[in-house]
Structure 1
């Protein structure tokens, strides 16, 4: 029998520092940047602010370009206990370029303002670990930008070139793969099994069949990234309209093009979307003449599947495979705006970006420990009435985005007692409340509900990219003989008389 403990906790307001009355100024050059210039700016920014920033690569694109991330925190390079991790991703579609530029500007802004003593920026960076991937698709950007440059007329490039670029050139990666359709379709698996009482609605494993499809290296790099860090919250910046969409992006009835398909965290997602839209200069207003006017009735936010349905999206994958809640930010109708629009767009989006970074400090956080005070990894945090759990990180810490109200929070781990606490979150809170748990060891019952705990997926045993790194080139040892190891599934094809899929061993 599990032990059950219920505590009453009233979490009072814990205020964050506010912005200083006179905000210091940061000088940013509001021009388009080539891939080489982007890498240079990010590296120089990290060098300028080495005490709070560094750059790292999560992988390479199809054509070998770095997928470079710049990180901001007061102790860069490592996860800190109870410090939430947030990511911003731009340029997933190579021809949607405004998000890429805004994130480059944001990186420069965070660095300079921190040095200048901006208290708001210092608080954000000191309390948060921020990861910025300005370009997820640098190959696509190269193609989209070259379409503009081919006009060879500076006047056209700066003022009209964006119109000549069209809506498709450079959207996909160099393999002609739409990266926002290339993630494992876990939403379909959820819909197929959602009626089962024991089926998980979180941390759904990657199906075997996924690895037999075409997996873009950019997709793989992001998947590996989100599995390696305990991200809490994310935004992916796109272009083509002016609205915030949030999961699910794939409809529960695929034949219905516009079908409201909420997640268990519908209210939390709506609040995240509201945070960005309301802080944006025009996104949530009721001007029917503006770009994105069709969303004025919903004040600039919409459930993704209700807008239009698609499978294999990054936001659905984040939600169903990890703890991370991701929204999609559509920054405007013009996917490749003129250079003259870059500064006005920065002004429209700066406050929204900062507010979104601050909004990760919402809900609750804490540590799940055993009776000896050691953190328990992969413990499950459940909210009564919300069929979506989060799991603890390496040292037992967790974050759970929640809206104000009363919540019953339960911590569970295999082989441990179950502990529940009633938590009240007032509307006045501006920082996540602290809720810790201590679980006692108990005998594991044979009929324990294994569905309560994270299940293993195919990543480690089937991931061809891990195998690719190992088997790409012959490894000639001291004996001069090549290694003959192959992935576990290789013999299956050989013994069946079927040619093994050698393409899985290549960096496709």
Structure 2
């Protein structure tokens, strides 16, 4: 059986990793059992406390906590306009390469951040994790196969890391492509849960509480629509480059405002006709 690394890509930014690191900054290429994973998560947090957060999303069938490590310049806080990204590994307990690579990735990001790697600093400062309600409605899920060996020898783990390190980092960077922006009403108030649709693509997303959205798209020309209950839909033509994401904001007019405008226009017309015909 092959190893699987499940990748969930969001429209806003942090890297969430079930992962670990040692406090001395050295990557240890070895397998981690559950208790070792818990200790490793704490080690990452202790090494980089200003850019990490540990939390739980529940328990496994056997009652073990499902811990998550978040990495961001403001962990635990949604920052309007930032894209979000999530890696998930170890979907099956005996398919271990994906889990170990994310352990190494978390430590690598922490180490490189502390050492002043500008690429990693920029990535962490401009990418963050989203809450799970947003995740479930706005994610793109991709499964990557990393190995044909379910449980390879421990001495091969370093080579797996070296072969996949750059790809793991570069894949996170892809979240900064496509279109992004805010959806507001005519008074500038954010519209949450507004729908962003792309013509010809059957995958809509919704805005966060601040009206912000991110929509991953390959380079090309698109028609992007913004809609919300009680508002008129707005459609824009957008040319999307390879990188970075194109900013596309929307202002939606409420149906009540439109009806009021139409009523006023009708009254003005009636007044004009009355004066003209001497009613």
Superposition TM-score tier, normalisation by shorter sequence: 0.7 to 0.9
**Root mean square deviation of aligned Cα:** 1.7
Alignment counterpart, residue 195 of structure 2, candidates 374, 380, 390: 380
Residue 437 (str. 1) matches residue 236 (str. 2): no
| Secondary structure of 1:411's aligned partner | strand
How far apart are residue 107 of structure 1 and its match?
0.8
Query: Secondary structure at 1:372's aligned position in 2?
Result: coil
Distance in 1 of aligned mates of 2:49 and 2:239 = 39
Match of 2:266 in 1: none
User: Is structure 2 residue 155 aligned with structure 1 residue 340?
Assistant: yes
Q: What does the per-residue CA deviation read over 1:157-188, in whole Å, with 9 as the maximum and x for residues that have no partner?
A: xxxxxxxxxxxxxxxxxxxxxxxxxxxxxxxx
Q: Name the counterpart of 1:5.
A: none
Q: Tell me the TM-score normalised to structure 1 length.
A: 0.45
* Structure 2 CA distance for aligned equivalents of residues 46 and 374 of structure 1: 37
Q: Which residue of 1 aligns with 2:132?
A: 226
2:105 is aligned to: 106
Q: Tell me the equivalent position of 2:91.
A: 92
CA distance in 2: counterparts of 1:412 and 1:96, whole angstroms: 42
Number of aligned residues: 234
> What CA distance in whole angstroms lies between the structure 1 residues aligned with 2:241 and 2:60?
45
Task: Say if 1:55 and 1:68, in contact at 8 Å, map to a contact too.
Answer: yes
1:130 to partner: Cα distance: 4.9
8 Å contact 1:414–1:444 — kept in the other structure?
no
Displacement of 1:444 = 10
Shift of the alpha carbon at 1:27?
2.2
Which runs of 5 or more structure 2 residues have no equivalent in the other structure? 1-24, 259-279
Change (3 A) 1:27 1:130: farther
More relative contact order, 1 or 2 (CA 8 Å, 6+ apart) = 2
What does residue 364 of structure 1 align with? Answer: 179
Structure 1, unpaired ranges of 5+: 1-25, 132-224, 232-317, 446-508
Runs of 4+ with >4 A deviation: none
The verdict on how the C-alpha distance between 1:376 and 1:130 changes in structure 2, with shifts beyond 3 A counting, is closer
User: 1:111 aligns to what SS in structure 2?
Assistant: helix
Whether the 8 Å contact between 1:52 and 1:74 is mirrored in structure 2 is yes
Q: Distance in 2 between matches of 1:130 and 1:340?
A: 33
Aligned to 1:45: 44
Distance between the aligned counterparts of 1:391 and 1:106, measured in 2? 30
Contact 1:47–1:54 (8 Å) recurs in 2: no
Superposition deviation, residue 426 in structure 1: 2.5
How far apart, CA to CA, are the structure 2 residues paired with 1:71 and 1:40? 15
1:38: Cα distance to partner? 0.8
Alpha-carbon offset, residue 86 of structure 1: 0.9
Asked whether the 8 Å contact 1:71–1:130 carries over to 2, the reply is: yes
- Please show how residues 350-429 of structure 1 align to structure 2 within 5 Å: 350-427=165-242, 429=243
User: Equivalents in 2 of 1:53, 1:27: separation in Å?
Assistant: 18
Deviations 1:30-57 (A, max 9, x none): 0111211111111121122111111111
Aligned-residue offset at 1:443: 3.5
> For the structure 1 residues 130 and 108, does the alpha-carbon distance in structure 2 shift closer, same or farther, using more than 3 Å as the test?
farther
2:16 aligned residue:
none
In the TM superposition, residue 370 of structure 1 has moved relative to its aligned partner by: 1.1
Q: Work out the CA distance in 2 between the residues paired with 1:96 and 1:109.
A: 22
Structure with higher strand content: 2
Distance in 1 (CA, whole Å) between partners of 2:28 and 2:36 is: 12
Q: Could you tell me how far apart the structure 1 residues matched to 2:46 and 2:254 are?
A: 47
Q: Is the 8 A contact 2:78 2:129 kept in 1?
A: no
TM-score (norm 2): 0.80
